[in-house]
Structure 1
Amino acid sequence: GGVALVIDGKALGHVLEQGMHHAIVRLGSVCSSVVCCRSTPVQKQQVVKTMKEALPIRTLAIGDGANDVAMIQEAHVGFGVMGNEGMQAVMSSDFVIGQFRFLKRALLLHGRWNYLRTGL
């Protein structure tokens, strides 16, 4: 089991406004995942961009509404979830799932199959 970082928009705003991007990178780099909640679209995008630029990692963003589009487009891989918030996230994503619960199968099963197929 890994450690996850969960940060809300208010705390994230303070970190980003103070130019403490390095703090998010250092903390996020020891976590298996980073979850930003109650954040603005710009904050979400900044977190993904900061992690991409600072670390040799691949980023994945998951969203279900128009407020997630910038984050999805910034990430290496974007998942759009079909839902009640419109089709903007779905239209701007690399992959589409019907519900959040389908993400596990998409990543663990289909992701592995794709890796095996392209790696041979």
Structure 2
Amino acid sequence: EGVGSTIEDLRIAGIHIWMLTGDKIETAINIGIAANLIDNYAEQFIYTEELQVNPDELMKKLDSDILKIENALNLPHFDFDQYQKYNNDTSESTSESSSSFWKKIPFIRLCKLKNHTLGLDRESYKKLTHSSNHVLIVDGTVIDTFLDKRFEMKFFYLADKCTCVICGRISPYQKGAIVTSANRLLKKITLAIGDGANDRNMINRANIGVGIRG
């Protein structure tokens, strides 16, 4: 009771929501609809088990979806190759501190370029997000590939632009790995909430972990 409206309030406040579940994708999508994570206006970027077979095709789809969401949100295209070159060049410099490095790289700054909806009432928020509501839906078989160094930056870039992320058939290890990678790449405060033993890894790795009993 009240879950849908609560989640909507969190999104209005600018809190980015991920749902990580062991349920299959179809069930996860139904839960997302019931919990108000997915509405009738949402464009869905779906990554199913079939894409795991061909990494090159997976990369093509990832690149295509990134272009789609950049165009939809009117964002400048992010040059990942240029970022990698900057990353490599900067990492070779021993005189530059880690903190100043993260302040300079464009990846983190661009990940924060969103429509700021803080302070809007619910109806105004709905009108604003109808044209920019994107949901990323990923099967657990694809997550391992997305957490690989070749894919992880693009995956988290796309995920950060979406209204919410839903991952189905996720293992306890994958839950923790996603939180760890999000902390490292996005540099945001993470809150993990779970009600089972399979959520322990995720809860422990988040900046704030909440376990629900009963």
TM-score, L = length of structure 2: 0.35
State the Cα distance separating 1:46 from its structure 2 match.
1.1
Is the partner of 1:58 in helix, strand or coil? coil
Match of 2:212 among 60, 65, 81: 81
* Letter in structure 1 aligned against 2:147: L
Q: CA RMSD in A?
A: 2.1
Deviation sequence 1:42-94 (CA, Å, 0-9, x none): 111111111111113111222221111111111122232334xxxxxxxxxxx
Give unmatched runs, 5+ long, in structure 2: 1-128
State the Cα distance separating 1:8 from its structure 2 match.
2.0
Match of 2:171 among 29, 37, 40: 40
User: Hey, what does 1:26 align to over in structure 2?
Assistant: 157
Q: How many residues align?
A: 83
Instruction: Find out whether 1:16 has 2:147 as its counterpart.
Output: yes
Instruction: Find out whether 1:64 has 2:195 as its counterpart.
Output: yes
Instruction: Find out whether 1:49 has 2:180 as its counterpart.
Output: yes
Distance, in Å, in 1 between the alignment partners of 2:206 and 2:186 is: 13
Is the partner of 2:178 in helix, strand or coil? helix
Is the partner of 1:39 in helix, strand or coil? coil
Deviation sequence 1:87-109 (CA, Å, 0-9, x none): xxxxxxxxxxxxxxxxxxxxxxx
Higher strand content, 1 or 2: 1
User: Hey, what does 2:46 align to over in structure 1?
Assistant: none
Give unmatched runs, 5+ long, in structure 1: 84-120
TM-score, L = length of structure 1: 0.57
Is the partner of 1:57 in helix, strand or coil? coil
Q: Which one has more relative contact order, counting CA pairs under 8 Å at least 6 apart?
A: 2
State the Cα distance separating 1:4 from its structure 2 match.
3.1
State the Cα distance separating 1:14 from its structure 2 match.
2.8
Distance, in Å, in 2 between the alignment partners of 1:57 and 1:5 is: 19
Distance, in Å, in 2 between the alignment partners of 1:63 and 1:49 is: 16
When structure 1 is superposed on structure 2, of 8-17 and 71-80 the one drifting more is 8-17
Match of 1:5 among 136, 146, 150: 136
Contact 1:41 1:68 in 2 (8 A): yes
State the Cα distance separating 1:18 from its structure 2 match.
6.7
When structure 1 is superposed on structure 2, of 46-55 and 10-19 the one drifting more is 10-19
